[in-house]
Structure 1
Amino acid sequence: MTTFDKITRLLDSRAVSFDVIEHPAEGRSDAISKIRGNKLSQAAKAMVLQVTGSTPEIRYVLAIVPGDCKVNFKNAAKLAGGKKASFAAPETAQALTGCPMGAVPPFSFNEELTLYVDKRLAGAGRVYFNAGELVRSVSLAADDYFSVIGHDRIADIAVPPAAE
C-alpha cells in the first residue's frame, strides 16, 4: 500500500473531510505552496531528525513545522529524550518514511519514527502537505489533522520567521 493510500484510508476511517490536489512534481515548501495557492504558514513541512545523546541508540523524529519556519533542533532533541538533533541522512529518511525527499507527509506510519508537530500549525485554519508523492497533496482542516494525530503530538519545535 502506498503512503498516499495509507493517508487517505486513515482520514476516511476517522470520517475526516479532505481535498486531494494534483500538481506538477514539486517538493520545496515555498514553491509547492505557490502552486497550491496556500500560505506558506499553512504548509506542513516534514523533516526526519536523528536524536542522540542520552543513550547509545539513535532515535528518529518526524518533525512537522509550518513552511515559513525552521526546526528547533534543541527542543526536538529534548522532547525525544536526547541531547542533540540533526537532519537524518536522506537515505535514512527515505527508508523510515517510504517517501522521496520533499514528499514526506505529516504522519508517521513507522513505529521507529516519533511524530512531533509544532503548535503554530494549530492556528493555520487548514494544513497542506505532499502526500507521499511529489505530484499529489492533501489539505484538511487543522483541527481535523490534530484530532487524527492526537494532541499529545503538539510541541514547540519551530523557529518562527524573523519579524520584518
Structure 2
Amino acid sequence: MSEHDNHDTYERLITLLDSASVEYELIDHEPEGSTEAVCALRGHPESEAAKCIVLRVKLDRRTTRNVLAVVPGDRRVDLDAVKALYSARYAGFSDAATAERLARSVPGTVLPFSFDADLDVVADPDVVAQPRLYFNAARLDRSLVVSGADYARLAGPRVERIAGPGPAG
C-alpha cells in the first residue's frame, strides 16, 4: 500500500463529508497510529476514539465475510459477539495485507468507513452515540472529528453490540 493510496482514501473521505455538508474538524498531529498515543496527542479520552479493526468471519467452509468492526478506543472487539451476529463458525483478525487492501489504508489509519463492497461495517452503539468521534483520517498525521450521528448517517454501519470490556489486546 503506497502513500498515494492513503492519500486517495483521505481525499475520498473529505469529498464524502463535504458533499453531505457534514460538520467536521481536522486535527494535525505527530504521526501516530496507536489509539492510546494518538488520543493523548489529540487531548481526549480514548472512549471518544473510533478503533477500527478488519475481521475475517467464516460463515461456513466456503463463505468468508470481511467485517470492519468499529468500537470505542478504550474497548476491544468481542469476537464472539461478531461470530454470533453472523451465525458464523469463526471470527478472527484479518491478515495485514487483506486489511490494507479492503480498508485502502495502512494499519493505524483505518477509517470507520468502507469504500469497498466486500467490507461490511459494524459499529458498536457506543461509537454512534458519541457527540464527538475522533479517528485517524487515513493518515498517521491527521485526525478527524465528527458527531457519532453524522458518522452513522454517512457510513451506514450495522449498529450492534460488538465491544467487549477494554483494553485492546
**Code of the aligned partner of 2:31:** A
Q: Is the counterpart of residue 153 in structure 1 residue 153 in structure 2?
A: no
The one-character-per-residue Cα deviations of 1:21-52 (angstroms, maximum 9, x if unpaired) are 11111011110000011210010000000001
What is the SS of the residue equivalent to 1:111? coil
Structure-2 residue corresponding to 1:20: 26
Identity of aligned residues (%): 36
- Secondary structure at 2:60's aligned position in 1? coil
The structure whose residues are more often strand, as a share, is 1
Distance in structure 1 (CA, Å) of the matches to 2:31 and 2:8: 17
Amino acid across the alignment from 1:143: A
* Alignment match, 1:142: 148
RMSD of aligned alpha carbons: 1.5
Deviations 1:49-69 (A, max 9, x none): 000143412210000000000
Q: Does 1:67 align with 2:73?
A: yes
1:92-142, Cα deviation, whole Å (9 max, x unpaired): 101111211000010000000000001111332110001111111100111
The equivalent position to 2:47 in structure 1, one of 41, 50, 54, is: 41
TM norm structure 1: 0.92
What are structure 1's unaligned runs of at least 5 residues?
Answer: none
Distance across 2 between alignment mates of 1:153 and 1:15: 22
Counterpart selection for 1:80 from 82, 86, 96: 86
Please say which of residues 51-60 and 2-11 is displaced more in the overlay: 51-60
Among candidates 110, 113, 119, match of residue 119 of structure 2? 113
Count the aligned residue pairs: 161
Distance 1:153 1:81 in 2: 15
> Structure 1 10/80 Cα, relative in aligned 2: closer, same or farther at 3 Å?
farther
> Which stretch of the first structure deviates more once superposed, 123-132 or 26-35?
123-132
Given that residues 118 and 156 in structure 1 are in contact (C-alpha distance below 8 angstroms), is that contact kept between their aligned partners in structure 2? yes
